[in-house]
Amino acid sequence: MDRSAFYAHLRRRDVPIFGTSLSQRQVEGIEALLDAGGRLHLDHMAHVLAEVYHETGGGMYPVKETVYRHSKNQNPSDATVIARLDAAWRKGQLPWVTQPYWRDGWFGRGGIQLTHKYNYQKGSAVTGKNLVKHPELALSVPISAQIAVEGCKAGIFTGKKLADFDLQTGFDHYGARAIVNGDKKVNGPKVAGYAEIFEAALSRAGWGQSLDVPAVTKPATQPDPAEQPQGILAALVAAILSIFGKGKA
């Protein structure tokens, strides 16, 4: 993949997601996602990038819940995050929440944020890291990227996964919003639009061309017929006949 071509497309003036420049932090986040998603099909990779773009407001890097790109403090204490969520819940600003999952520290962390202890357990399974014992690891750029990629692939966020939205007519980016959140009627069109932009950038950069299936080779457990006993015997007989044939000439 030509990553310079990928970023050049994203920086075009007529591509309305990053403007004409990306910060170093944004590039680091994107690089980690591309590295983690190296075996994904182009449309799947585009969707993961689109989800992270939407979930981080274009930041592309992992953050704690209640932190946004415009936030002055990009790394508030856990106690501050919990207090913010408590205040919002008391004001009725989190109508979808039935239990305050954040009070034991299971608030959102990452590019696509893990919330609730059981989701940290799922994140541990796909990353091989003990996120239950060390939830702060979800804020590591490479681990966050792995959670985003493997989480969308395995369906750890809502139970829906990338393969569920492969259609004969192409990938359903609108419907695939359900992989991360059930708000597709509201945010599905946005995510689909972002995904189309990332698809174009990935395509221009040659994403997946290095993943071509190699030519089929003969398994080592199946020797060439010429190396089998009957092949050797036939070769020996042919050699003897050749010698006698030359003598008669």
DSSP string, 178-227: GGT-S-HHHHHHHHHHHHHHHHHHHHHHTTTGGGPPPPP---TTS--GGG
Integer Cα distance of 154 and 126 in angstroms: 8
Q: 160 — phi, psi (to 5°)?
A: -85, 145
Give residue 210's pLDDT: 59
Cα–Cα distance measured from residue 85 to residue 90, given in angstroms and rounded to the nearest whole number: 9
CA distance 117 to 135: 9
Looking at residue 69, its pLDDT comes to 87
Residues of the chain with pLDDT under 70: 210-249
Distance between CA 2 and CA 31 in Å, rounded?
12
Determine the distance from the C-alpha atom of residue 47 to the mean position of all C-alpha atoms in its chain, rounded to a whole number: 8
Predicted local distance difference test score (pLDDT) of residue 222: 42
Query: In this predicted structure, what is the pLDDT of residue 217?
Result: 36
Distance (Å, whole) CA 44 – CA 51: 11
Quick one: pLDDT at residue 247?
Answer: 44
Quote the pLDDT of residue 218: 34
Residue-level pLDDT at 3: 96
Instruction: Give 110's strand partners.
Output: 63
In angstroms, rounded to a whole number, what is the distance separating the alpha carbons of residues 141 and 30?
A: 9
Tokens of 221: 């457990």
